[in-house]
Amino acid sequence: MSFLAERLGRIKPSATMAVTQKARELQAAGRKVIGLGAGEPDFDTPDNIKAAAIAAIRAGETKYTNVDGTPALKQAIVEKFNRENGLDYETSQVSVASGGKQIIYNAMVATVDEGDEVIVPAPYWVSYPDIALLCGGEPVFVRCPENNGFKMRPEDLEAAITPKTKWLILNSPSNPTGAAYTRSELKALTDVLMRHKQVWVLTDDMYEHLVYDGFEFATPAQVEPGLKDRTLTMNGVSKAYCMTGWRIGYAAGPHELIKAMAKVQSQSTSNPCSISQAASVEALRGPQEFIAAHNAVYRERRDMVVEMLNKAPGLTCHKPEGAFYVYPSCAGAIGRKTPQGKVIETDEDFVTYLLGQAEVAAVQGAAFGLSPHFRISYATSTELLREACTRIQKAWAALR
C-alpha cells in the first residue's frame, strides 16, 4: 500500500510557480535573470487599502469571522456585483475564501463526483484541470487555437457536452492568453448552455478590470439571466487591487451551492484572514481611479511587447484584449538548432533555451494545454520588459 494517496498521482505542481521559483534561485546565484513567469501585478497595494488593514488590526478585528466572510465584506460584494455587473444577489448568496483559487476548489469539492466531466477551454489557467482531477472529475479540453483568437466557438462547446458534463469553466479575460469574450461571443456560448440544463458555469472573472482599448467586460449571468441559477460568478481582489498576497477571492451563486462551499471551507481553512477581509471592503468601496492608471501602463507594455516580439522573423504574437499576458507562438523555433547544437523539439525546450541563452524566464505553453506557445507576463517594469524582449529577439536570431 502506498503512503501517498492515489489521487495525488493525478495532479502535478503548478508549472507557473515552478518557473518563478527557478528564476528566483538563478537570481540568488547572481544571474541576471528577468522573470516573466509570475502572474501578479508589479504595483503595490494602494495606500488606502493598507490603511484599512492597519485600522482593522487596531480595532481588534483579529479574531475568527464567519466561515465564508464577514457581513461587511459580503455586503460590499453584493454592491459590487450590482454596480459593475448588473447582477442582484443577496448576501447569503456570496462566499468569500482565501483567494479565487480556494473558491474554485470549494466549488469542485462540493459538487464533483468520480467521473463527472468538467469542460476546460484550452489554453487554460493551470489549476482548473488539476483541481477537477483532485476531486475525481474528468477535465474535457476544448482546443481554442490562435486563429480563433484563443476563444471557444459555440460549436466546439456543443460538441464537448455529454450527459456527464457538470461544469464549464470560463475565464475571460484569460490567463494565459489575455483573450476576452465580447458580449455577443458570450451570448453564443450561453445559448448553447441553455439547451443543456445539467451544465453549470463557473466563470472566473478575476481579470475583469484589466481590459484595454475600450473593451467592455461582460459575464455570463448578466448576458443570459436564464443561466443565473446555475452560474457561479467568481472574482477577487488579487489582480485589479494588487492584493495577491492578501488572499481574498469571492463568488456569488445559488444558495445551495454557496452553503455547500461554506461547509467545505468550515472543515478546511475556516474564514479567510479577518484583516484582509477588512482591507477588501475598502478595495471594493474606496477610490477606483488607480485601476485606469495601472491599465494605461499595462496597455503600453502590451503594445511594446507585441510589437517587439513580432519583429523577430517567424515569431508571432497575437494582441490580446486584457489581463497582463501574451501567448506568442514559438512554432517557428521548432526543429531549429541552438548555438549549442540542441534541436528545439517542444515549447518546453524553447523556454529552457530562453532561460539559458537570454536569461529570461517564461512559461511553456504545454503547461496551459496549447503548444507550441509560451506565456509572458508583462506585469513587470517597462524597462525590464524592453530588455527582456531585446534578449528574446537576440536568442531567436541565434537559432539555426
Q: Out of 204, 282, 321, 347, point to the residue binding ligand PLP (CB under 6 A).
A: 204
Site string for ligand PLP, 136-155 (x = CB under 6 A): --------------------
Nearer to ligand PLP, 50 or 196 (CB): 50
Considering the complex, state which of residue 222 and residue 377 has its C-beta at the smaller distance from ligand PLP: 377
Instruction: Return the closest-CA partner of residue 112 out of 329, 245, 287, 260.
Output: 260
- Answer for which of 220, 236, 253, 332 binds ligand PLP (CB under 6 A) is 236
The type of residue at 172 is S
Residue 202 CA: distances (Å) to CA of 25, 52, 106, 171, 195: 36, 31, 12, 8, 17
Q: Which is nearer to ligand PLP, 206 or 273 (CB)?
A: 206
Facing residues of 15 across strands? none
Under rule CB under 6 A, residue 238 binds ligand PLP = yes
Q: Can you tell me which residue has the cell 514559438?
A: 330
Q: Does 41 bind ligand PLP (CB under 6 A)?
A: no
Q: Which of 139, 121, 126, 132 is nearest to 189 (CA)?
A: 121
Least CB distance from residue 223 to ligand PLP, whole Å?
Answer: 19
**Does residue number 99 form part of the binding site for ligand PLP (CB under 6 A)?**
yes
249 touching ligand PLP, by CB under 6 A: yes
Residue 175 in the binding site for ligand PLP (CB under 6 A): yes
Q: Tell me the one-letter amino acid at 209.
A: H
Pick the closest to residue 139 from 172, 95, 104 (CA basis): 104
CB atoms within 10 A of CB 136: 15
Of the candidates 87, 391, 35, the residue with the CA atom closest to the CA atom of residue 222 = 87
CB of 262 to ligand PLP, least distance (A): 18
- Binding of ligand PLP at residue 209 (CB under 6 A)? no
**Closer residue to ligand PLP in complex, CB, 234/312:** 234
CB within 8 A of 285, min separation 6: which ones? 76, 79
Q: Which residue stretches of the chain are H helix? A: 15-28, 47-58, 71-85, 100-111, 127-134, 154-160, 183-194, 220-223, 255-266, 274-285, 289-310, 347-353, 382-397
Examine residue 280 and tell whether it contacts ligand PLP (CB under 6 A).
Answer: no
Interface with ligand PLP by CB under 6 A: which range of 3-11, 93-101, 285-293, 294-302?
Answer: 93-101
Alpha carbons 354 and 365: distance in angstroms, whole number: 14
To which H or E segment does residue 254 belong? none
Cα 89 from chain centroid (whole Å): 24
CA distance 100 to 72: 19
Q: Which helix (H) or strand (E) holds 166?
A: strand 165-171
Least Å distance between CB 235 and ligand PLP? 9
CB closer to ligand PLP out of 126 and 358: 126
Measured from the CB of residue 85, what is the shortest distance to ligand PLP in angstroms? 17
- We find the least distance from the C-beta atom of residue 326 to ligand PLP, in angstroms, to be 14
Cell numbers linked to 270: 475556516
Q: Does 100 bind ligand PLP (CB under 6 A)?
A: yes
Task: Give the total of residues touching ligand PLP (CB under 6 A).
Answer: 13
Are 312 and 393 in contact by the 8 Å Cβ rule? The answer is yes
Using the minimum distance from each CB to ligand PLP, give the nearer residue, 236 or 372: 236
Least CB distance to ligand PLP at residue 91 (A): 20
Stretch that binds ligand PLP, among 139-147, 156-164, 236-244, 303-311 (CB under 6 A): 236-244
Q: Which is nearer to ligand PLP, 67 or 251 (CB)?
A: 251
- Find the residue with minimal CB distance to ligand PLP: 99
* Interface residue with ligand PLP, options 74, 101, 230, 375 (CB under 6 A): 101
Q: Interface with ligand PLP by CB under 6 A: which range of 99-107, 146-154, 344-352, 364-372?
A: 99-107
Helices vs strands, H then E, count in the chain: 13, 12
Q: Does 125 bind ligand PLP (CB under 6 A)?
A: yes
- Look-up of cell digits 475583469: 208
CA distance 62 to 119: 40
Which residues would be at the binding site for ligand PLP (CB under 6 A)?
39, 99-101, 125, 171, 175, 204, 206, 236, 238, 244, 249
